[in-house]
């Protein structure tokens, strides 16, 4: 596998389409993986995670809620979304409230990703050390109204 | 309940040490008989600075680890209780942050084992419900003393203070055993509706509503931040809202229809009768409003001004901060708060009616919001439903509510065993 960065972009016009883009992105991810999930407040980061969790059969879209206060939500599913598929643990983190790099270890980020996990970190760009070791990022950008541009950037993944 | 206990004699006092470490706060409390709070200590409120070299927000398990022993010691000392006097040790087992929860659970297990006392596991959300019930019981006990006003309880039709001691209240008294209570737990991390009922001394819960994205308190905090009022800034919005026109900006909530859940899925709500909240959209709508109305520069100025006044509080510095807000901003704040409060009120009372709830209680940090209290109290009066809120101290995370929720479990002998572990995704009720 090359070390080149693979970039895929999706344009969506509604929350439903953003969730559908989440399904497509889910199909491109293979654990272990740690991605920074970037986007302004209200860009639709949690909405996108709803789609990814749904694709893995790890949670219903309406069960994926914001981890801002709780910091970490975990969802256990399978890569192909079926009961017999390879297990994947989707970890959805939000570092919005975290200002101190020392706290990252205590949250357990140092041990992530585990072999079976796909880790999505909102507001991870606040921490240089995390940016240096991540496997890429997903950027959600508002184009005005409900339109969004979602870009997946993966550093050469096995 | 008291009579039952005294008859048994196995639990002479009902002294429970509660420990809470599910998220930001390390807390410990001693509560007697589920009603009398002897101490209620929260780490961020006591001076650990000198001893531990500065207080970091209790976000991480490491901070809980540093705080748990001194906080428990402080709670025991304040209560004037020796470890040997305890009848049980109670701890939050979830939901929350795994590492944070584990500190409380491990400590409580070791302490209970070392003392040879029963260990009781409490769900954090159940704790929030019992924060209110604890004060209802305390107020009722107080009401036995003539002319002492009750607090936290608003009986219907201006009946005056509720009379009668716990367990011997007249049939039909608010929050008595057997009645269905609708509980709204609303905070920075939760927006849940539960039916709660006491049967034969044990409490039973059913989840009948929740948010599908952001918690209500999170919407408050994030809107405050995007208006330049810092984070978490929910209390600022509450304080500033009265100066704005709540009808200025019409916010609307989309009707949320959840998809049918997989059959037999544990903890799944029945979509036909569940209530769903969504507070992500209104946060985005506020953001869009500020962009469309060119408010960015004023927000940046406000952010800079507030950054220069660390430790500013809505109680002390309201006039200063109000002066930083133009009328358009105040109107936006008032409209946002009105929209969220009205959405919570409408859906909560619709749910109460749907399930024939005999009373309503509101708990969690957002229960401290003044407009929410006013609107919920007015609606409850209009419908003849008793309603109760926690005091400010018990609305945010604390351990008194954990010790209070553990009391019925002590009475009914529902103890945790040595396999107890933290459950970050623990659900409450069926």
pLDDT value of position B218? 92
Residues in Cβ contact with B47 at an 8 Å cutoff, skipping those fewer than 6 apart: none
Distance CA(B101)–CA(A150), nearest Å, equals 35
Token readout for B110 is 């070791």
The highest-confidence range among A1-15, B253-267, B336-350, by mean pLDDT, is: B336-350
Given a contact cutoff of 8 angstroms between Cβ atoms, the answer to whether B185 and B397 are in contact is no
Asked whether residue B366 carries a pLDDT value surpassing 50, the answer given is: yes
CB-CB under 8 Å, A66 with B213: yes
When pLDDT is averaged across residues B365-387 and rounded to a whole number, the result is: 96
Asked whether residue A151 carries a pLDDT value surpassing 70, the answer given is: yes
CB-CB under 8 Å, A106 with B258: no
Q: Calculate how close chain B gets to A92, using CA atoms only, in Å.
A: 12
pLDDT value of position B53? 34
**Digit-coded pLDDT (tens) for B266-314:** 455 676 778 999 998 899 899 989 999 999 999 999 999 998 987 788 9
When pLDDT is averaged across residues B5-11 and rounded to a whole number, the result is: 43
Orientation of helix B280-292 relative to helix B216-226, angle to 10°: 20
What is residue A69's DSSP assignment? T
Distance CA(B167)–CA(B137), nearest Å, equals 9
CB-CB under 8 Å, A65 with B59: no
Question: CA angle, B184 as apex, B179 and B188 as ends, to 5°?
Answer: 155
When pLDDT is averaged across residues B47-63 and rounded to a whole number, the result is: 47
Given a contact cutoff of 8 angstroms between Cβ atoms, the answer to whether A58 and A88 are in contact is yes
pLDDT value of position B24? 80
pLDDT value of position B175? 87
Q: Calculate how close chain A gets to B288, using CA atoms only, in Å.
A: 8
Residues in chain B: 430
When pLDDT is averaged across residues B59-68 and rounded to a whole number, the result is: 77
Per DSSP (E only), the strands in A5-144 are 5-12, 33-38, 72-78, 87-94, 117-122, 136-142
Provide the pairing of β-strand B88-94 with B15-20: parallel
Token readout for B124 is 């954090």
Token readout for B30 is 């001693």
**Digit-coded pLDDT (tens) for B113-153:** 999 999 999 999 999 999 999 999 998 888 776 544 444 44
Report pTM.
0.85
When pLDDT is averaged across residues B212-219 and rounded to a whole number, the result is: 93
Percent of chain B with pLDDT over 90: 67
pLDDT value of position B145? 61
Report the candidate in A116, A153, A114 with the shortest Cα–Cα distance to residue A136: A153
Instruction: pLDDT band for B12, please (50, 70, 90 cuts).
Output: low
Question: CA angle, A129 as apex, A128 and A130 as ends, to 5°?
Answer: 90
- Per CB-CB distance under 8 Å, the chain A contacts of B284 are 41-42
Numbered residues of chain A with Cβ closer than 8 Å to any chain B Cβ: 40-42, 46-47, 60-63, 65-66, 68-74, 96-98, 100, 102-103, 105-108
Pick the residue from chain A with its C-alpha nearest to B60.
A106
Instruction: pLDDT band for B99, please (50, 70, 90 cuts).
Output: confident
pLDDT value of position A32? 96
pLDDT value of position A28? 96
Residues β-bridged to residue B360: B182, B387
Residue B69's CB: how many other CB atoms inside 10 A?
Answer: 13
Distance CA(B188)–CA(B204), nearest Å, equals 24
Distance CA(B97)–CA(B78), nearest Å, equals 28
pLDDT value of position A42? 83
**Digit-coded pLDDT (tens) for A11-40:** 999 999 999 999 999 999 999 999 999 998
Distance CA(A111)–CA(A106), nearest Å, equals 10
CATH number of A5-155: 3.40.50.300
**Digit-coded pLDDT (tens) for A95-121:** 988 877 877 876 778 889 999 999 999
Asked whether residue B263 carries a pLDDT value surpassing 50, the answer given is: no
DSSP string covering B119-173, please?
EEEEEHHHHHHHHHHHHHHHHHHHHTSTTPPP-SEE-GGG--SPPS-TT-PPTT-
The closest CB to that of B60, out of A41, A69, A106, belongs to A106
Asked whether residue B353 carries a pLDDT value surpassing 70, the answer given is: yes
Distance CA(B429)–CA(B318), nearest Å, equals 41
Distance CA(B238)–CA(B332), nearest Å, equals 12
Question: CA angle, A107 as apex, A103 and A113 as ends, to 5°?
Answer: 120
The burial class, CB within 10 Å (0-12 / 13-18 / 19+), for B370 is middle
Distance CA(B92)–CA(B111), nearest Å, equals 14
Asked whether the CA dihedral B76, B79, B83, B89 is positive or negative, the reply is negative
Instruction: pLDDT band for B59, please (50, 70, 90 cuts).
Output: low
Instruction: pLDDT band for B374, please (50, 70, 90 cuts).
Output: very high
CB-CB under 8 Å, A106 with B23: no
Domain boundaries, chain A: 5-155
Residues in chain A: 158
Given a contact cutoff of 8 angstroms between Cβ atoms, the answer to whether B33 and B138 are in contact is no
For B157-192, letters b (16+ CB in 10 Å) and e give eeeebbeeebeebeeebbbbbebebbbbbbbbbbbb
CB-CB under 8 Å, B425 with A74: yes
The closest CB to that of B215, out of A41, A69, A103, belongs to A69
Instruction: pLDDT band for B160, please (50, 70, 90 cuts).
Output: very low
CB-CB under 8 Å, B211 with A61: no
The closest CB to that of B258, out of A62, A65, A100, belongs to A62
pLDDT value of position B7? 40
Q: Which of A73, A77, A95, A106 to mutate to test the interface with B (most CBs of B within 10 A)?
A: A106
Q: How many helices (H) and strands (E) does chain B have?
A: 14, 12
CB-CB under 8 Å, B63 with A41: no
Pick the residue from chain A with its C-alpha nearest to B227.
A41
Report the candidate in B144, B149, B195, B148 with the shortest Cα–Cα distance to residue B169: B144
CB-CB under 8 Å, B187 with A102: no
When pLDDT is averaged across residues B211-237 and rounded to a whole number, the result is: 91
Distance CA(B281)–CA(A14), nearest Å, equals 12
Instruction: pLDDT band for B21, please (50, 70, 90 cuts).
Output: very high
Numbered residues of chain B with Cβ closer than 8 Å to any chain A Cβ: 23, 56-57, 59-63, 95-99, 187-189, 211-215, 217-218, 222, 225-226, 231, 256, 258-259, 261-262, 276, 280, 283-284, 287-288, 424-425
When pLDDT is averaged across residues A46-63 and rounded to a whole number, the result is: 94
pLDDT value of position B152? 44
Q: How many helices (H) and strands (E) does chain A have?
A: 4, 7
Mean pLDDT (chain A) is 90
- φ and ψ of A24, to 5 deg: -65, -40
- φ and ψ of B286, to 5 deg: -65, -45
Q: Calculate how close chain B gets to A4, using CA atoms only, in Å.
A: 35
């Amino acid at each position: 596998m090359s070390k080149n960065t693979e970039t895929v972009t999706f344009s969506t016009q509604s929350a439903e389409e953003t969730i559908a883009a989440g399904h497509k992105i889910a199909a491109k991810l293979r654990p272990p993986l740690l991605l920074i999930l970037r986007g302004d407040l209200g860009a639709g980061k949690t909405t996108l995670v709803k789609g990814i969790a749904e694709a893995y059969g790890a949670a219903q879209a309406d069960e994926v809620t914001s981890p801002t206060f709780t910091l970490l939500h975990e969802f256990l599913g399978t890569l192909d979304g079926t009961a017999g598929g390879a297990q994947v643990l989707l970890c959805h983190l939000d570092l919005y409230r975290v200002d101190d790099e020392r706290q990252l270890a205590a949250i357990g980020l140092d041990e992530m990703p585990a072999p079976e996990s796909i880790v999505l970190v909102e507001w991870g760009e606040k921490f240089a050390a995390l940016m240096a070791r991540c496997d890429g990022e997903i950027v959600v950008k508002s184009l005005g109204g409900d339109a969004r541009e979602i870009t997946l950037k993966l550093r050469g993944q096995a | 309940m008291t009579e039952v206990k005294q008859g048994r004699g196995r639990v002479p006092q009902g002294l429970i040490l509660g420990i809470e470490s599910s998220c930001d706060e390390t807390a410990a409390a001693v509560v007697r008989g589920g009603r009398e709070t002897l101490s209620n200590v929260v780490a961020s409120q006591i001076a650990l600075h000198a001893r531990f070299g500065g207080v970091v927000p209790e976000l991480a398990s490491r901070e809980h680890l540093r705080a748990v022993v001194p906080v428990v010691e402080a709670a025991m000392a304040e209560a004037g209780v020796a470890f040997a006097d305890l009848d049980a040790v109670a701890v939050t087992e979830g939901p929350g942050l795994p590492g944070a929860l584990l500190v409380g659970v491990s400590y409580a297990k070791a302490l209970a084992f070392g003392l040879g006392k029963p260990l009781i596991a409490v769900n954090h959300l159940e704790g929030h419900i019992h924060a209110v019930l604890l004060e209802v019981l305390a107020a009722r006990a107080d009401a036995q003393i003539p002319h002492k006003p009750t607090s936290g309880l608003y009986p219907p039709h201006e009946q005056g203070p509720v009379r009668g001691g716990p367990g011997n209240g007249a049939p039909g008294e608010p929050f008595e055993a057997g009645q269905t209570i609708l509980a709204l737990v609303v905070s920075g991390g939760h927006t849940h509706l539960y039916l709660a009922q006491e049967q034969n001394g044990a409490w039973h819960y059913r989840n009948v509503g929740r948010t599908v994205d952001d918690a209500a308190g999170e919407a408050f905090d994030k809107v405050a931040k995007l208006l330049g009022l810092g984070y978490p800034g929910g209390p600022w919005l509450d304080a500033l809202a009265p100066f704005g026109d709540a009808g200025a900006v019409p916010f609307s909530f989309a009707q949320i229809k959840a998809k049918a859940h997989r059959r037999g899925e544990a903890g799944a709500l029945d979509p036909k009768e569940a209530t769903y909240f969504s507070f992500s959209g209104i946060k985005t709508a506020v953001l869009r409003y500020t962009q469309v109305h060119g408010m960015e520069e004023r927000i940046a100025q406000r952010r800079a001004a507030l950054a220069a006044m660390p430790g500013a509080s809505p109680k002390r510095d309201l006039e200063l901060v109000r002066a930083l807000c133009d009328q358009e901003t105040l109107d936006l704040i008032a409209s946002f708060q009105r929209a969220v409060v009205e959405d919570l009120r409408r859906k909560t009372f619709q749910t109460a009616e749907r399930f024939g709830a005999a009373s309503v209680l509101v708990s969690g940090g957002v229960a401290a919001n003044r407009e929410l209290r006013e609107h919920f109290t007015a609606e409850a009066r209009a419908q003849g439903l008793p309603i109760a809120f926690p005091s400010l101290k018990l609305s945010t995370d604390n351990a008194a509510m954990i010790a209070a929720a553990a009391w019925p479990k002590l009475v009914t002998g529902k103890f945790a065993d040595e396999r107890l572990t933290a459950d970050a995704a623990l659900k409450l009720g069926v």
